[in-house]
Structure 1
Amino acid sequence: MARVVRPSSEGGRVLLLEHARAELPLLGWYQDVSAVTVAATSKGCMWNQDVPALLAAAGLRVIRLSRHTGGTVVMVEAVRDA
């Protein structure tokens, strides 16, 4: 996405609705121990990812993030700086 989205100065942005690791310790632990099983039975969904870190590694900057469903789902708006 970082390769094809326009820079933020040109109005480009990436919108995501993604599974993420919950911030609640017990729920995050459960996601960690069950991630392999969930991925194997749900078309590869890794539901314990650190989405902001993945976006940063891809060259995108998160400008808005909101957590839902116990923190297991995130809505993210990210941009690529010029």
Structure 2
Amino acid sequence: LCAMDSYANVPSYTDWLARQDRTQVYAFLKTMLQFLQWQKRQRGEAPAQRWVLKTPQHLHTLEILFRVFPGAQVVLTHRD
């Protein structure tokens, strides 16, 4: 989910990435988060009540994010 264009200006990559369907990437992320929840339960810990994902690149694919994570909420913060 990390976009390389955050680190380097590569317009051809940015254009290519914009044309990709990232549904499978988000489905894999969901599976990994579920696995982490399962791991916590196996250790006898209470699973997280919510996940906080602080990746600004999610703003480019909100429609996919909400499709894969139907209960997701987005919080935008602003700093001076």
TM-score (norm 2): 0.29
Larger RCO, structures 1/2 (Cα 8 Å, 6+ apart): 1
Task: Determine which structure has the larger strand proportion and give its number.
Answer: 1
Structure 1 or 2: larger helix share? 2
